[in-house]
Structure 1
Amino acid sequence: MLLHRKKRARYQMQTPLTSLIDIVFMLLIYFLLTTNFMVEQGIDVNLPDATASAPQTRQEITVYINQAGKVFLGKQPIAFNDLFDRLQENISQNPEKLVVIKADGAIMLDRAVQVMDIAQAAGAKKMFLATEKIN
């Protein structure tokens, strides 16, 4: 006598897609409602055409102060007592020159302030104390 066994149907696992689709549409609606679609209004201006001109060079005088407190005008070492006269000569050629003071971080701040005072007395109108950006 032969017995036939019934084969059981294998169950297949399926993820319910209806809830997933609902979540996707809810996220889509949320982002559509919270996104700002405003376009900034500007003023219509017809700008003139540019003609070729010579590139403008930066007019600056750089004063360096190293860790020992020695002063350099450009790359030339200079005595602190002569700084006023040399700055006055350079500034008298162009009073709009920018004086950039690059002082070592280890020096006392009063030395850099003294150089700024000398530059101002020499006629400098624009001065910067240069720093480095920290990463």
Structure 2
Amino acid sequence: MRNRPSLDDSDNQTDELNISPLIDMVFILLIFFIVTTVFVEETGVDVNKPQAASAVDLEKNSILIAITDTGKVVYGGREIGLSGVRSIVRRNTQREMMPVIIQADRNVPTHLLVGVIDESKLAGAESVSISTEN
């Protein structure tokens, strides 16, 4: 006589769904989205920019330098002064060429704006632009 499983034995087995591959896939997607995210670095100060009729959008991967109405030159939320522009631009353009975008307040003296442009060019920046209101 053979031992046949009774109907009562099959009722004790539970069907479970293995979600390990699903969790692995979610983590892989999470890592993919984190790696491919573009982070925009802001200057950290509010600038009242002038308007221009010929304004165009530039790349998001750029060096943003702000000049406030009080004459402070700011990068990444901290004041660097005119003398710090060259080192910041040189350090950021060593790996790849990025445009420099200057966010100057409409009341900034021209000599300060030209000084920041000159320091950026001397540091090796190929493209220096001035941000305006659209």
- State the TM-score, normalizing by the size of structure 2: 0.53
For residues 112 and 122 of structure 1, the distance between their equivalents in structure 2, rounded to whole angstroms, comes to 16
CA distance in 1, matches of 2:117, 2:66: 12
1:8-55, CA deviations, whole angstroms, 9 ceiling, x for partnerless residues?
xxxxxxxxxxxxxxxxxxxxxxxxxxxxxxxxxxxxxxxxxxxxxx68
1:107 equivalent in alignment to 2:108: yes
Alignment of 1:36-47 (within 5 A): none
Query: C-alpha displacement at 1:109, in angstroms?
Result: 1.6
Q: Which runs of 5+ in 2 are unaligned?
A: 1-35, 40-59
Cα distance in 2 for partners of 1:111, 1:79 equals 10
Determine which structure has greater relative contact order: mean sequence separation of CA pairs < 8 Å that are 6+ residues apart, divided by chain length: 2
What is aligned with 1:127?
Answer: 128
The runs of 4+ residues in structure 1 deviating greater than 2 Å are 54-58
Structural mapping, 1:18-29, within 5 Å:
none
The answer to whether the 8 A contact 2:82-2:115 is kept is no
- Contact 2:66 2:75 survives alignment (8 Å): yes
Q: Deviations over 1:35-84 (max 9, x none)?
A: xxxxxxxxxxxxxxxxxxx6877310000000111101132221321221
SS in 1 for 2:107: coil
CA displacement, residues 63-114 of structure 1 (integer Å, 9 cap, x when unaligned): 000011110113222132122112111111212x010000010111221111
- Judge conservation of contact 1:64–1:74 (CA < 8 Å) in 2: no
> Following the alignment from structure 2 to structure 1, what is the Cα–Cα distance between the partners of residues 83 and 107?
22
Task: Determine which structure has more spread, i.e. the larger CA radius of gyration.
Answer: 1
Q: Give distance in 2, aligned partners of 1:74 and 1:56.
A: 16
Structure 1 55/73 Cα, relative in aligned 2: closer, same or farther at 3 Å? Answer: closer
2:95 matched to which residue of 1? Answer: 93
Q: Percent identity?
A: 25
Q: Which amino acid aligns with 2:112?
A: R
Quick one: which of 69, 73, 76 aligns to 1:74? 76
Matched residues, number: 79
What SS is found at the alignment partner of 1:101?
strand
CA RMSD of aligned residues (A): 1.8
